[in-house]
Amino acid sequence: MNGHLSPAVGYLRQYRSMTSHQLLQAEEQLKALAGRRGFFLCKVFVEQPHTDPAAFDALIRLVKRRRVPAVIVPNQAHLSAVGSGETKRTVCTVKPALTR
């Protein structure tokens, strides 16, 4: 099914105003974007307001342990509230042009 696609993981923040339908829609958009860019989205880490930054920390551990080549996010704002700037530059190279 995904033999020719590289693995990727997704990350997004569930904002307090997001409904479960909107969250599901955001996850589906990440999957579609990953597929268009030649990646298979293995897992989506969802940051919950009450457990922040647990999902981001788990994402970083998985990326380092499995050497995941790509992290897909809806936009840079989803990364802006977590981790230090150095962590984000080292682990996640944000390429906004890929979303166009």
| DSSP per-residue codes, 8-58 | EEEEEE--TT--HHHHHHHHHHHHHHHHHTTEEEEEEEEE-TTTTTHHHHH
- Note down pLDDT in tens along the chain; length 100 residues: 566 889 999 999 998 899 999 999 999 999 999 999 999 999 999 999 898 889 998 999 999 999 999 999 988 777 766 655 555 544 444 454 444 4
The pTM for the full model equals: 0.78
Q: Report how far residue 12's alpha carbon sits from residue 77's, in angstroms, rounded to the nearest whole number.
A: 9
